[in-house]
Structures are given as C-alpha cells and as structure tokens.
Structure 1
C-alpha cells in the first residue's frame, strides 16, 4: 500500500560505531586516507564523542559506543568514481580489500575501517 502523504528523498547519513577514544584514528582513516571532509558536530552532541565526515551529498557519522562490536554484515556502500585508483591507494596503505564480482554491472570491493566495520565501495562497470 502506498502512502501519498510523504515522499522519500534519500539518505542523510549512515552511522558506524567505534570504541571510546577512537576519534583520531577515525580521522586518520576517513579524512586523511579516504579524503573525506570532517564536518563539525553540533555543540550539544560533542559531549558524546565521535566524529562526522561528508561523503558526496551524504554523511558518515562515527559514533562512540562503550560496548563496541564491529558491524560485520550491516555496512554502508560508497559509490566511487575511478574505483581502481581507490583500490590501489588502499593497497599502498596496507588496507586489505576483498574484490566481489557477484553483481555483473558493478565493480566493487569490501574493506574494513580501523575498527573492523565492513565497508563496501562500488562503481558502475563501463
């Protein structure tokens, strides 16, 4: 059943969890290695820890969780342009990647952030 009173626009952000005190490690990975811009958190949320990054029009929120367990199945999927360059960059920085060819029209691979959360990267095959 369709509800015509509202409309889906898209995703604003995906939140990944990280252990307490890991903000600098998140910055090294998402900002320094992947090249995402850090977005300042609102003042009222800074006391919770964590750090936010921009990825295209969307955001990645790294939230601090005291009883942290990495997400091994649930994951964000990043759309990338020139995915081969990203794969090479990650390999050169000793980030293991797992290429996946199960979807014929996509070039895609999986990696993990420094906390063990699963990340997917994809590009439309040409």
Structure 2
C-alpha cells in the first residue's frame, strides 16, 4: 500500500490547488501538522485510500511525464472535469485492453492519470 504521493507546485499555489482538488475533484483536504504547514503546500485524502501531498517548491517545473494514477469512475469524472473547463485526453484503449483511462493536468501543469477498475 502507498501512504501518499507528493507532487509539487510553485510557492503560493495552495488556493489554486484547493480549488481544483476539493472544488473540482471533491477530495477532502487534510490539515498539515503545524511544523510542516509552515513550509507551504497542502494535503488531500484520495477517495479509496491514501493521500496526495502538494509541496511548495522554488523553481517549480510541472511533471509532464511522471504522474500518479488514481482508480475512479472515469466516465463520471471526465464529465466533471470537462464541465469545469479542464482538458481530458483519453488513452488509446489498445494500450491496456479492457481498462478505460485518461490523462489530464492539475492547474499548475502536473500530469494526472485516472483509470477505471
């Protein structure tokens, strides 16, 4: 089991990330312990288990290739994302037969994958 995955964002991105991960995806924010909160960033509970941590990083560069992948109802989520103005790029179904999946990016450009069970 993975406890958490960490992605980065530029310093000051917390409100933007909260708007996406809680407002669009519907994930719950997890309060950071006080000593870690002083460093910036924010944490979210991933539905089904685990956490996603966003760390504030000077000189931030989005992750365009490496990415976490989350299991979800991809068709419902794709509708939510496109309805909120986010691009959804469906993967070629021949790549992993029998598993629908798509890629998108968070508001700072980190690549995310969502796939069906």
Consecutive aligned runs of 4 or more in structure 1 exceeding 4 Å deviation: none
> C-alpha distance in 1, partners of 2:78/2:88?
7
Q: Does 1:114 align with 2:107?
A: yes
Q: Does 1:69 align with 2:61?
A: yes
Could you say what the CA RMSD is over the residues aligned between the two structures, in angstroms?
0.7
Q: Which has the larger radius of gyration?
A: 1
TM-score (ref. length: structure 2): 0.95
Structure 2 stretches lacking a partner, 5+ long: none
> C-alpha distance in 2, partners of 1:83/1:113?
16
TM-score (ref. length: structure 1): 0.88
SS state at 1:106 partner = coil
> Per-residue deviation at 1:49?
0.1
> Per-residue deviation at 1:57?
1.2
> C-alpha distance in 2, partners of 1:33/1:89?
7
Structure 1 stretches lacking a partner, 5+ long: 1-9
